[in-house]
Structure 1
Amino acid sequence: MGPQMYDAGVRARGAASPGGTNRSRPCPDAVVDWPEHGGVARVPVRRGRWGMDGDRRAGRVAVVTGAARGVGAATARRLAERGLRVALIGRELGTLEKVARSLPTESCSLEVDVTDEAALRGAARSVAERMGPASVVVANAGIAAAGPFATTEAALWDRVIAVNLLGSAATARAFLPQLVRTRGYLLQVASTAAFGSAPLMSAYCASKAGVESYAQALRTELEPEGVQVGIAYLHWTGTGMIEGIEAHPVLRELRAHQPGPGSRVHSAEQVAGWLVRGVERRAAAVYAPRWLRLVQPLRPVLPLVVSHIARRSLARMPARELRRTTGVLGPGGRADWEDREAAGPVVPARPPQS
């Protein structure tokens, strides 16, 4: 399905983007020309209050990916409450628009697959032309799938890596020129899955370890440009993804047996509050919850601890439960996977003929 373009409220379809499945809605209030998408869009902007008078954040632009629900939507709301104008990027246009309508500042919604670099470049141009260059980018888009590595569909395993790791890199690549111009801040959302990998979540854990490592390298590269890069470490968060984990008996058991406060689930709004405070400080590391900073010095032994807890928990489970695969966790991840499946199988590139 090609990108959906809007002109005075009338839906039309443009040519398919190089990624093949992407639908993009440009930010509103003027004509935006995306040659690679074969379309032009015009949509009236929704304006609102821009925050407190004299607040230096008022009128600045923030971009949040994975903004249709959960932590992304909550973070967009918190940023808007602090006076920033927000561009919301995600896969579910109707849900994105509902979030946008709830914001107290100017906003726009763009339905974009973060693994489609051409679409992201178009979205970045649209944001800059309609709202101004981004000062803050929160790379939050992510999906997860649960189940044994051996029985998880290879395409699904690869998709988790593509969205979480490659999509984060594509987001940074698309918006870096704007962040350099504004000497802005990029917040990469990672996870405690980067600390110690849990069984049955191999793709998710690998992707979050990857984004942490990539963001650390990017931080050093961008420091001379005046751009700061932060990494957010999220633990158990009350979103659709955690609901899917709770429905899997093995994963539910693993969470329940984490020591101390490790099994506690925090609301998306609470996590968003921690993230936005990190944005305000341009923090190198953001911990959600904050006690996670105490875990950092213990990281060399955490994989052993996680493995020990996992072995004890798995030993109590029936073999049939250990083989159970959940597929994609949460409604956001399912929306992404369904769109991807609707596009048909990915045809691998042929090697050049000698």
Structure 2
Amino acid sequence: MTDSPLNDRTVVVTGAARGLGAALARELARRGARLALLGHEEPELRALAASLPTTALAVDVDVTDNTALDHAAGEVRRHLGRPSVVVANAGIAEGGPFATSDAASWRRIIDVNLTGSAHTARTFLPDLVATSGYFLQVASLASLGATPMMSAYCASKAGVEAFAHALQAEVAHEGVAVGIAYPAWTDTDMIRESEQFTAMRQLRTHMPPPAATIHPADVVAARLVRAVERRRGAVYVPSWLRALQAVRSALPPVVLRVSRHALLHLDTGRPLRATGPLGTGGRADHDR
């Protein structure tokens, strides 16, 4: 797609080894972008880079490590040139009751999802200023309305939304655009594994049917990449999620009512258990 504004541009994607990150990389490559694929699981990153139709660089890095990110940024500039787009997609999740959650695991989710996104922005902002570039923060449906059993994930995604709004206002005068992506349930191994836990599956299926639908990762990625091309301030997948912005203050009572009913029937003498890190990417981060 040589008519894309992304053609021959350098784009950084974090959390690129699998799931939505890998789908984003493939969609961006179709538009002629040079890809810097950042994340854990170096073999998967290298395999993805080799499969893309454009130049791609695989960099094994932990987004919570400032020094490692600085080194990764140097590698990107040296091999691909200054990036003009950065997609902060890296994220992990774990489900289970907050009261019995492991404190270190809970904190790690915040560190990766929120602090890691901020580190990513801090590292690449000089490049985005130099190129009048675009930063896309991948948030979530969870940014609009929190759910039980996912307290760390919901807190982190609410945090990245607030961070992106603040950054958006700070850098607009420098020619840098910031967008926030609000994908709903996406078919990744993280979501597929969560479906194996009764409480997690029940909480999703008790949502209204449109909100409970799981969307293919490549469909979500295509929508997000179109938003990157247009430098959108926000992108919702599916698009009707935008309507939740107008009524988001009414969501907590609805979630409370639904979860009170659902969890009452699930928590019958046998304590609800934690899922542990969800998905291969979550376990890779844990092992790291």
Q: State the TM-score, normalizing by the size of structure 2.
A: 0.97
- Residues 123-272 of structure 1: pairs in structure 2 closer than 5 A: 123-272=72-221
CA distance in 2, matches of 1:157, 1:96: 26
Residue pair 1:314, 1:322 contacting (<8 A) in 2 also: no
Give 4+ residue runs of structure 1 displaced > 6 Å after superposition.
Answer: none
Residue pair 1:143, 1:333 contacting (<8 A) in 2 also: yes
Residue pair 1:179, 1:227 contacting (<8 A) in 2 also: yes
Larger-gyration structure (1/2): 1
CA distance in 2, matches of 1:65, 1:317: 36
> Which residue matches 1:27?
none
CA distance in 2, matches of 1:268, 1:55: 21
CA distance in 1, matches of 2:178, 2:168: 5
Determine whether 1:334 maps to 2:268.
no
CA distance in 1, matches of 2:117, 2:278: 19
Determine whether 1:58 maps to 2:7.
yes
Determine whether 1:82 maps to 2:31.
yes
> Which residue matches 1:69?
18
Deviation at 1:161, TM superposition (A): 0.3
CA distance in 2, matches of 1:299, 1:217: 19
CA distance in 2, matches of 1:148, 1:293: 29
Cα 1:278/1:322, change in 2 over 3 Å: farther
Residue pair 1:241, 1:329 contacting (<8 A) in 2 also: yes
> Which one-letter code corresponds to 1:258 in the other structure?
M
> Which one-letter code corresponds to 1:128 in the other structure?
R
Secondary structure at the counterpart of residue 305 of structure 1: helix
Residue pair 2:6, 2:28 contacting (<8 A) in 1 also: no
Task: Single out whichever of 314-323 and 293-302 deviates more from structure 2.
Answer: 314-323
Secondary structure at the counterpart of residue 84 of structure 2: strand
> Which residue matches 2:48?
99
CA distance in 2, matches of 1:318, 1:56: 52
> Which one-letter code corresponds to 1:238 in the other structure?
D
> Which residue matches 1:110?
59
Alpha-carbon RMSD across the aligned residues, in angstroms, is: 1.2
For structure 2, list consecutive stretches of 5 or more residues without a partner in the other structure. none
> Which one-letter code corresponds to 2:257 in the other structure?
H
CA distance in 1, matches of 2:242, 2:102: 35
- Residues 253-292 of structure 1: pairs in structure 2 closer than 5 A: 253-292=202-241
Cα 1:250/1:68, change in 2 over 3 Å: same
Residue pair 1:230, 1:282 contacting (<8 A) in 2 also: yes
Deviation at 1:320, TM superposition (A): 5.0
Secondary structure at the counterpart of residue 249 of structure 2: coil
Deviation at 1:303, TM superposition (A): 1.3
For structure 1, list consecutive stretches of 5 or more residues without a partner in the other structure. 1-50, 340-354
CA distance in 1, matches of 2:10, 2:260: 47
CA distance in 2, matches of 1:257, 1:105: 42
> Which one-letter code corresponds to 2:274 in the other structure?
T
CA distance in 1, matches of 2:53, 2:201: 37
Secondary structure at the counterpart of residue 54 of structure 2: coil
> Which one-letter code corresponds to 1:146 in the other structure?
G
Query: What per-residue deviation string (whole Å, max 9, x for no partner) do you get for residues 202-232 of structure 1?
Result: 0000000000001000000000110000000
CA distance in 2, matches of 1:192, 1:321: 29
Deviation at 1:322, TM superposition (A): 4.7
CA distance in 2, matches of 1:81, 1:251: 35
State the aligned residue count: 288
Cα 1:320/1:243, change in 2 over 3 Å: farther
Secondary structure at the counterpart of residue 325 of structure 1: coil
CA distance in 2, matches of 1:320, 1:244: 24
Query: What per-residue deviation string (whole Å, max 9, x for no partner) do you get for residues 120-140 of structure 1?
Result: 011111111211110110000
Query: What per-residue deviation string (whole Å, max 9, x for no partner) do you get for residues 38-96 of structure 1?
Result: xxxxxxxxxxxxx52x6543211000000000000000110010011000001000001
